[in-house]
Amino acid sequence: MNHLATTASPYLLEHASHPVAWYPWGEEAFRRAREERKPIFLSIGYSTCHWCHVMADESFENEAIAALLNAHFIAIKVDREERPDVDRLYMRYVQLLTGRGGWPLSVWLTPELKPFFGGTYFPPTNTTNQIGFPSVLIQLIQLWEEHPEEIEIQVLRSMQALEYSMKREESSPSFKKEFILENALEIFSKHFDEDYGGFTLAPKFPRPSLLFFLLRYAHQRHDFSAEKARSMVLLTLEKMAVGGIHDQLGGGFHRYSVDRTWTIPHFEKMLYDQAQLAMAYLEAYELTEEKKYAQVVHSTLHYVLEMMRAAEGGFYSAQDADSEDVDGQKREGAYYLWFAEEIKELLSNQEYRAATSYYHLQEKGNIDPSYDPHGEMAGKNILFMKEEKKLTQVDEKHLHAASRKLYQARAKRQPPHRDEKILVAWNALMITALARAGITLKSQCYLDAAIEAAFFIHKNLYDQSSKELYRSYYKGSRTVKAFAEDYAFLIQGLLDLYEATFDLFWLQWAEELQQTMNELFWDGKHGGYFNSSEDDPYLFLRLKEEDDGAEPSANSIAALNLLRFSHLFEDISAAERATKIFHQFTSILEKAPLAVPQLLLALWYSLRVPRQLVIVGKSSWSSTQVLLSEVRKGFHPDQSIILLQGDAREQWLEKRNHVLEKMKLEGEKAVLYRCDHYCCEKIEA
């Protein structure tokens, strides 16, 4: 066993028995590199990463390659999900160096942790298209030992490039928000796939934060552009729902589609995708009241609660793309794919005909071999629909029976590996999804799950004395301190949980976390939040993330949180911080809005009139529930709801929002107030 054996990361533990003498990120490895004047080989990946597994099997378990690494390098392995700060810093370097990024991330550093070469996956031998990993090692060994001056030049160039990439053009306070939003819509329209939805051709990623912005843009306006925004969202959601990216049997969504039509996915399932896509379909349901969107929310959350929930109440991180096939070999998608003969044996003739028509099954498989370069899916079928099919009552009955049998048969297969690490940020996204779905879909089960997850974090990943969060939990151990995204996402989740339950505990904790986030991550000179705190001696640059990729950035979510606080608490300083975030990232808002859709959402919210609906009445009163039911109907992303029940604890809230002080219980009937810009009007029933 190497030095990873005592870590608390599933990904690192997977490499603990490798012949490579891996170290975790930390002083022990850095000290050895300094003392022996050896370069560091840094490998960054995660537990459910397909190509990380491939490179591990091909190179890191190879005795000869391991001997080469051990003799000339200090090898460090990092779980990118546990240490997003390390990953983002060196990912930015590799992207600047090569023009692309991905995992596994392979970077070579000086003992001072400065990068001088990098890439992603390297094959075990030279190919016509790519140099092999051993050849890279040999050339770098020679360079390190014989030409140290070239290493110094490369380090200098690397540092200059990284520092230059962090420079931003800040705006004047008078920048035009409306223009930015309109410009963004025009750019999104140009990138939109009119046939299949989404904003690229292939590969195709869901980009939920982009859909969130477009829904709000459509909500704001009543013209052709609003209809365009709405149609882009709904077409994308509809095509995804019928595609292979959506698990038609078990619910939930795979990571992305390798083709244009959402048919052939990369089969990994990530918790953050389930949370954000459940929210996207929920908002589509709130907007349209079409049950098909609610059905996707239910199936997605059912998958999460059944397959991704820990007994203690938190949620696991991901499920792998690879799983064991019938021959015992691990292949991508093996758990989800079917030979036609398998399905025939399981179903009656009528059920097979219904399934064949509905799911587009073919005798020789329905997967285009051009999207299967390794032949792992040859002859197999993925379940998908090319469009929403109208079924007769008889066919629907046969299809339901067929799907049930297929699901039961699939459940007997060896399931994909599950990364049972519990991360604050991703759990927080799921808290938001469950809290909001619990209210809109009237499900106490979802609401209870959101509450349990929040209590899990409070109990296991929150230090009540320092008021600080930890990021990761695995089998009773919490590891690294939390990053800006953990705070931002959890604050958002707690604000949503408050509006779902009206329990002031969640609101008070959210305010407490916002204060800690400001202290640890706020850039007092320029505005915006750094990813990491300033007390880490091993990060030579503190990045300030702005891109809203698979997950939204901390700054984008924080900007919206601050605006919500400013409305809830009449907090001018919170609104000023949000404005500084917009100014800090104005250039990218104007020139590359596709990169920051969640920040555009926050910018949209900043233009809305602060609107609060305040209900004064006991939650046990039927009149209170009637009013709550009414104000929660539909899609209202610009309103907040407060419930006052005459509880003494509410004085805490009244001190922060003075318009609430005069609102008292009146008899035994609930009363509704509408407050715009803190000017309140009683609404008669």
Give per-residue pLDDT as tens, 632-666: 999 999 999 999 999 999 999 999 998 999 899 98
- Among 172, 1, 78, which residue's Cα sits nearest to residue 480? 78
Give the confidence band of 170 by pLDDT, cuts at 50, 70, 90: low
11 confidence band (pLDDT: 50, 70, 90)? very high
pLDDT at 169: 66
| Nearest one of 139, 124, 262, 247 to 197, comparing CA atoms | 262
* pLDDT exceeds 60 at position 172: no
- 401, pLDDT greater than 90: yes
Domain covering 177-320+419-606 in this structure, CATH number: 1.50.10.20
DSSP class per residue in 2-55? -TTTT-S-HHHHHTTTSSS--EESSHHHHHHHHHHT--EEEEEE-TT-HHHHHH
- Which band of pLDDT confidence, cut at 50, 70 and 90, is reported for residue 676? confident
Query: What is the pLDDT confidence band of residue 536, given thresholds at 50, 70 and 90?
Result: confident
Domain locations in the chain?
10-165, 177-320+419-606, 336-412, 611-683
- pLDDT value at residue 175: 62
The pLDDT, as a whole number, for residue 287 is 95
Q: What is the pLDDT of residue 479?
A: 86
What CATH number is given for 10-165 in this structure?
A: 3.40.30.10
Sign of CA dihedral 144, 147, 148, 152: negative
The answer to whether 563 and 575 are in contact (CB under 8 A) is yes
Burial of 599 (0-12, 13-18, 19+ CB in 10 A): buried
Tens digits of residue pLDDT in 122-157: 999 999 889 999 999 999 999 999 999 999 999 999
SS3 letters for 565-605?
Answer: HHHHHCCHHHHHHHHHHHHHCHHHHHHCHHHCHHHHHHHHH
Q: Quick one: what percent of the chain has pLDDT higher than 70?
A: 98
pLDDT tens column, 239-283: 999 999 999 999 999 999 999 999 999 999 999 999 999 999 999
Q: 471-482 pLDDT, tens per residue?
A: 999 999 998 999
Given a contact cutoff of 8 angstroms between Cβ atoms, the answer to whether 59 and 124 are in contact is: yes
pLDDT band of 222, cuts 50, 70, 90: confident
What's the pLDDT at 388? 67
* pLDDT confidence of residue 609: 84
Q: How confident is the model at residue 431 (pLDDT cuts 50, 70, 90)?
A: very high
pLDDT of residue 389: 65
Question: What confidence tier does 535 reach under pLDDT thresholds 50, 70, 90?
Answer: confident
**pLDDT interval class at 1 (50, 70, 90):** confident
Whether residue 251 contacts residue 303, with contact meaning beta carbons closer than 8 Å, is answered with: yes
Determine if the pTM surpasses 0.85: yes
Same topology, domains 10-165 and 177-320+419-606? Answer is no
Average pLDDT, the chain: 94
